[in-house]
């Protein structure tokens, strides 16, 4: 039984490691803005922010010509100007609202590097299978972790009881 679980654990490790590695690398590159699109992280000057968050959300809704289910509104510096980024209800796109003037605009299409890392990180490449793939890999990862825990507990129990691991099946 333990040998079968060990072989299953090794096989699951191979299957799960490739997408988990791609996900981890793409997430790592997300935290390094200069690596992907050449962007920089700038300090926000609060004195330049003239538009309040509710006004920014209203401007985004106005541009989209509908009430957006905004899930995140982030204030950031973009191209030397304070801007809100409204995310939600637009798929992978967002709306930028200038925090000084209130001018709203759709986000520009990302470059190939950013697009690649978004695809890899969020499984956008899989289309309607995105949720299914994420759930499947999550389940396989959980099974991998559980089999590893079982194998470690079995090995530790052998050491505690003094059983010879070569003779235990």
Q: What is the pLDDT of residue 58?
A: 94
| CATH architecture of the region 39-109 | Roll (3.10)
- Which stretches of the chain score pLDDT less than 50? 168
Predicted local distance difference test score (pLDDT) of residue 17: 85
Task: Judge residue 40's burial from the number of C-beta atoms within 10 Å of its C-beta, 0-12 exposed, 13-18 middle, 19 or more buried.
Answer: exposed
pLDDT value at residue 110:
74
Q: Which of 80, 56, 82 is nearest to 72 (CA)?
A: 56
CA distance 136 to 109: 30
Task: Enter the DSSP assignment of 108.
Answer: P
The structural domains of the chain, with segments of one domain joined by +, span 1-37+110-169, 39-109
53-83: b or e for each residue (b if 16 or more CB lie within 10 Å)? eeebbbbbbebbeeebebeebebebbeebbb
pTM: 0.52
């Amino acid at each position: 039984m333990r040998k079968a679980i060990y072989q299953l654990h090794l096989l699951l490790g191979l299957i799960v490691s490739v997408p988990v590695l791609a996900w981890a690398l793409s997430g790592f590159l997300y935290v390094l803005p200069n690596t992907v699109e050449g962007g920089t992280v700038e300090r926000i000057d609060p004195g330049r922010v003239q538009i309040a968050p509710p006004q920014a959300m209203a401007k985004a809704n106005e541009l989209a010509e509908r009430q957006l289910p905004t899930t995140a509104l982030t204030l950031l510096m973009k191209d030397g100007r304070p801007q809100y980024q409204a995310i939600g209800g637009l798929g992978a796109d967002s709306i930028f609202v200038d925090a000084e003037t209130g001018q709203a605009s759709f986000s520009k299409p990302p470059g190939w590097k950013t697009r690649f890392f978004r695809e890899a990180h969020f499984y956008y490449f899989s289309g309607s299978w995105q949720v299914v793939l994420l759930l499947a890999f999550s389940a396989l990862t959980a099974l991998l972790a559980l089999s590893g825990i079982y194998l470690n507990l079995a090995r530790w129990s052998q050491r505690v009881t003094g059983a010879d691991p070569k003779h235990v099946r």
